[in-house]
Amino acid sequence: MTSVSTPNAAVRAAEPSRLGPVIETRGLRMRYGSTDVLHGVDLEVHRGEVLALLGPNGAGKSTTIEILEGFRKRSAGQVRVLGVDPIQGDEAWRARLGVVLQSWRDHSKWRVRELLDQLGRYYRPYATPDRPRPYDPDELVALVGLTDRADTRIGRLSGGQRRRLDVAVGLVGRPELLFLDEPTVGFDPQARQEFHDLVHRLTDLEGTTILLTTHDLDEAEKLADRILILVGGRIVAEGTAPELTRQIAGRAEVRFSRNGEFYVHACEDATGYVRELFAQYGDAVGDLEVRRASLEDVYLTMVREFESGGRRAVLTEVAR
């Protein structure tokens, strides 16, 4: 995968979509028999934005994504994706989407480049002046780091190489909206960093909107402009990673040593406390560490609160 320098994600998030929201839902509900899976989900995602959808198994993430992709019919509510109700989306609409599934095991006898070339042909009728389709297969294999495997049969790829191909398949039509389901499973650290660079390239240079589902909270924090936490079919939190950590756990822990003894102090204003600490004790202060709640801390706290019946308390705290 090609590494590129990227501007601050906040800059991308601040730029409004030229054509309105890429994804918009209002009161989205889903019921299977007598069981409600989604309870009035309101969602808005803009052009060039990366949104991470987090939640435990059974939270309703897959159902939400399938509705947005047009593969499942909702029970109630309004949904617009690229300006179209997904249930009414035609081939031209679907050509504007890219999907990277968690696993995809077909076509093992095809060679990498010839598969991408074949799939790309289906997108040619839907090219536009501002969005040429498809990707050139050689450009695409280079983009995902598979140039040296372009003529290799898919069945002979390693797990990480196969996952790179999954990403290439999702990108072949140069999508305006890309759905990524656990995209870096099986990646080593270098491949994961290269994939992150690719995501930034897609959003910064091509204006691709990305909806990401992952259990890797560190990855969500690095990639996402906004994070949405879905629990029990309800959105219980939404915001940037720093916003969520401040909303749920505003206090910080200041750890330090003085004269051989170690101390831990919890406070709201860590910067002010550290300033006073040095003013009072100077060079006697050592081993200084300021720790705020991580995204993982926030996520686990909210899920536990919700699942233990504390949903109202969680929602009230998030709304502050």
What domains sit in the chain, N to C, each tagged with a CATH number?
Answer: 9-242 (3.40.50.300), 250-309 (no CATH)
Q: Alpha helix (H) ranges present in the chain?
A: 9-14, 61-69, 91-94, 112-121, 137-143, 159-171, 189-206, 217-223, 241-248, 270-281, 295-307, 311-319
Least-confidence region, from 6-20, 88-102, 115-129: 6-20
pLDDT at residue 145 above 50?
yes
Q: Could you report how far apart the first and last alpha carbons of the chain are, in Å?
A: 41
pTM of the model: 0.79
- Measured at the CA of 168, the angle between CA 163 and CA 170, to 5 degrees, comes to 100
* pLDDT at residue 14, as a whole number: 36
Sorted by sequence, the CB contacts under 8 Å of residue 47 that are 6+ apart come out as 15, 17, 18, 19, 22, 176, 207, 209
DSSP string, 193-235: HHHHHHHHHHHHHH--EEEEE-S-HHHHHHH-SEEEEEETTEE
Alpha carbon dihedral 143, 145, 149, 155, in 10-degree steps, equals: -100
Compute the average pLDDT of residues 85-108: 86
* CA–CA gap between residue 276 and residue 294 (Å, rounded): 25
pLDDT at residue 98 above 60?
yes
User: Per the structure block, which two tokens stand in for 45?
Assistant: 């995602």
pLDDT digits (tens, 9 = 90+) for 266-293: 887 888 999 999 999 999 999 999 887 7
* pLDDT at residue 294, as a whole number: 77
Compute the average pLDDT of residues 134-140: 95
Within 13 Å of residue 304, how many CA atoms lie on the same side as its CB?
7
